[in-house]
Structure 1
Amino acid sequence: MKYIEIANTDLKASNIVMGNMRLKQLSLAEAETLIRTAMEEGINFFDHADIYGPSYGECEAHFAEAVQMNPSLREQMILQSKCGIRKGFFDFSKEHILESTDGILKRLKTDYLDVLLLHRPDTLMEPSEIAEAFDILHKSGKVRYFGVSNHTPTQVELLQKYIPHKLIVNQLQLSVAHSPIIDSSIAFNMNVDQSINRDSGILEYSRLKEMTIQAWSPFQKGFFEGPFLGDLDSYPELNQTIDEIAAKYGVTNTSVAVAWITRHPANMQVVLGTMNVQRLKDSCVGSELPLTREEWYRIYRTAGHIIP
């Protein structure tokens, strides 16, 4: 397992993250097996959100109950959660951030979060109000570090103008079959669809500002449109390429799909959503798989992207 030092923190984090959005699909025993397996494979970073679960907060509570959370175990984990999404609207109000964080801590059975993220941009946000909430959470010891999810560079800049705490993370959707944060820069200055800038240069911005990108849905071909691995109707050439590279290294196609992200010099983390023990293990193999530059671009090209 590769570990990265998240800039502007003392966190040494696995570059593979166990995401817990679907954890409630498992029984308590199954959930414990998955979490323990993740830790045995070297994962020390666990991602949550207050909305995850059939009902609000259920996955966080399920996580803590499954592992019988205690202080000794807690210290072996980096716990991250997100807030700001409510039923039908977004809410970055001071009141909601504070209330949501208290609920997260109670459900996870911990006194503090290592990282709290603002989940999706709230266009009605008052940055000074967010700054007040963050300051209260930090001074009280409830949250160590802060970040965002699905935010543009200018949204980050607006927040950072008011927030004295460095925003350390931006969680963004990325897979080889869904890679807008990479595509337009590669096809820059061309009159093709790929050159349309849909992300405001967030990849380069994050590297300049030393913000760690956390790639979510690493196997999805769109916005929850299903996995590209094994989809021979839509991605026959991509799957053939990945299978050939997997055979070369003696790993699975899942490992290669993860390695395509971890190979990037931005030092991204990959947020897994799988609830399958073997797929989690296969994903961890991709943590340090040394794809060559040629292999990386071949995978990218056979996903249907233009390399001018």
Structure 2
Amino acid sequence: MTFPLRQSLPTVSRLVYGCMHLGGSWDQSPISSVARHKAFAALETALEQGINCFDHADIYTHGKSEQVFGDFLRQHQLDRQQLVLQSKCGIRFADGQHVGRYDFSADYIRSSVEASLRRLQTDYLDLLLLHRPDPLMQPEMVADVFHRLQQEGKVRAFGVSNMAWPQLQLLQRSVAEPLQVNQLQMSLADHHWVEEGVLTGMPSGANVHFAAGTVEFCQLHAIQLQAWGSLAQGLYSGGRAPETAAEQATAEVVQQLAADYQISAEAIVLAWLLRHPAAIQPVIGTLSPERIKACPQALAVELSREHWYQLYVAARGQALP
């Protein structure tokens, strides 16, 4: 199975560690010693498990996620060349004068990147992703600031998050370099991206979260699909209690397969994503060192077709048409 991102980043890990929970609360309070300890423990565990790709965004815990990662990077004197750091920009929080909004203006993209670099204490990002679609996006303006950031050595490659294939195609028409990544909500719980293909043409189809064909478009154009929310917040692995009959049934299948394959429940949930031919790169966001250790077990197995469908049908809560 071709893993698209390794065409440009040959040493990138198959799993990404998502840093959205690092740094503590989502407010302007300083980073506490407890939050710093939890962040360092999670990052140390991720590195020990062979994860070298770290996903940030300028908004995560109001910048504290990047700040505490930068402190970790400096304190541990890590070889920057062995890490893949990506961050996202484009979401602006509401304040006293403005509503929450998206902003792909050149000035905002540039200022966001430069602030992220300061917090991360690094000279460059391996990847910059536009966080959510901005209806006012001007592709030529975005392409120009991308080019300038790349020429200045501040960003090496670019991608997007939460974009459908027409938006990708529109942006790519202006951006000279191939867009490398599209980060989407994808998990055993959020399986709409599978439903979109299975139920094509059916009026009673799935609750579509992004345009049908996005997964296939990314496959055709060697755009790395990254799955945020890949563990479904522990829904099937003990992190939170199932609420519906389908969720309970799926959790039971996950536990049974974990016993059959002799791996963790987290690994079964991730293995379901990894089994898809799109070569999905899961982003895991747990702060728990034990759960982080459990995730790479998914790389050692390949679910059978029967087991993949068993999980899918259980999660959708009804038989396939």
Q: Structures share a fold, TM > 0.5? A: yes
Residue 182 of structure 1: CA displacement?
1.1
Residue 33 of structure 1: CA displacement?
1.9
Which has the larger strand fraction? 1
Compared CA separation, residues 166 and 14, structure 1 to 2 (3 A)? same
1 CA distance for matches of 2:109 and 2:217?
A: 26
2 CA distance for matches of 1:245 and 1:17?
A: 24
For 2:47, the equivalent position in structure 1 comes to 39
For 2:265, the equivalent position in structure 1 comes to 253
Greater CA deviation, 72-81 or 266-275? Answer: 72-81
Residues 79-129 of structure 1 deviation map (CA, whole Å, 9 limit, x = unaligned): 000001111011100001111101111110000000000000000011111
For 2:320, the equivalent position in structure 1 comes to 307
Tell whether the 8 Å contact from 2:192 to 2:208 is kept in structure 1 after alignment: no
Residue 193 of structure 1: CA displacement?
3.0
For 1:133, the equivalent position in structure 2 comes to 145
1 CA distance for matches of 2:145 and 2:36?
A: 34
Question: Percent of pairs identical after alignment?
Answer: 37
Aligned: 1:278 with 2:277 = no
Greater CA deviation, 136-145 or 10-19? Answer: 10-19
2 CA distance for matches of 1:268 and 1:196?
A: 19
User: What secondary structure does 1:121 align onto?
Assistant: coil
Letter in 2 for 1:64: G
Residues 178-229 of structure 1 deviation map (CA, whole Å, 9 limit, x = unaligned): 11111121122334233868523111111011100000001328xxxx8344
Residues 286-307 of structure 1 deviation map (CA, whole Å, 9 limit, x = unaligned): 1332111110010000012542
Which consecutive unaligned segments of at least 5 residues does structure 1 have?
none
Letter in 2 for 1:169: V
Compared CA separation, residues 36 and 7, structure 1 to 2 (3 A)? closer
Residue 31 of structure 1: CA displacement?
1.7
2 CA distance for matches of 1:99 and 1:232?
A: 42
For 2:35, the equivalent position in structure 1 comes to 27
1 CA distance for matches of 2:85 and 2:79?
A: 11
Tell whether the 8 Å contact from 2:192 to 2:207 is kept in structure 1 after alignment: no
Compared CA separation, residues 287 and 199, structure 1 to 2 (3 A)? farther
For 1:109, the equivalent position in structure 2 comes to 121
Name the count of aligned residue pairs. 301
Residue 259 of structure 1: CA displacement?
0.8
2 CA distance for matches of 1:275 and 1:7?
A: 26
For 2:88, the equivalent position in structure 1 comes to 82
Structure 1 residue runs of 4 or more that deviate by more than 3 Å after TM superposition: 2-5, 69-72, 195-198, 228-233
2 CA distance for matches of 1:278 and 1:62?
A: 21
Aligned: 1:68 with 2:80 = no
Letter in 1 for 2:46: A
Tell whether the 8 Å contact from 1:7 to 1:168 is kept in structure 2 after alignment: no
Letter in 2 for 1:83: C
For 1:14, the equivalent position in structure 2 comes to 13
Compared CA separation, residues 29 and 203, structure 1 to 2 (3 A)? same
Q: Structure 2 matches for 1:1-308, cutoff 5 A? A: 4=3, 6=5, 8-25=7-24, 27-53=35-61, 56-68=62-74, 72-87=78-93, 88-194=100-206, 198-220=210-232, 227-230=235-238, 231-234=241-244, 235-304=247-316, 306-308=319-321
1 CA distance for matches of 2:184 and 2:209?
A: 15
Tell whether the 8 Å contact from 2:6 to 2:12 is kept in structure 1 after alignment: no
User: What secondary structure does 1:81 align onto?
Assistant: strand
Residue 64 of structure 1: CA displacement?
1.3
2 CA distance for matches of 1:204 and 1:5?
A: 13
Residue 264 of structure 1: CA displacement?
1.2
Compared CA separation, residues 185 and 3, structure 1 to 2 (3 A)? closer
Tell whether the 8 Å contact from 1:3 to 1:12 is kept in structure 2 after alignment: no
Greater CA deviation, 77-86 or 67-76? Answer: 67-76
TM-score, normalisation: structure 2: 0.88
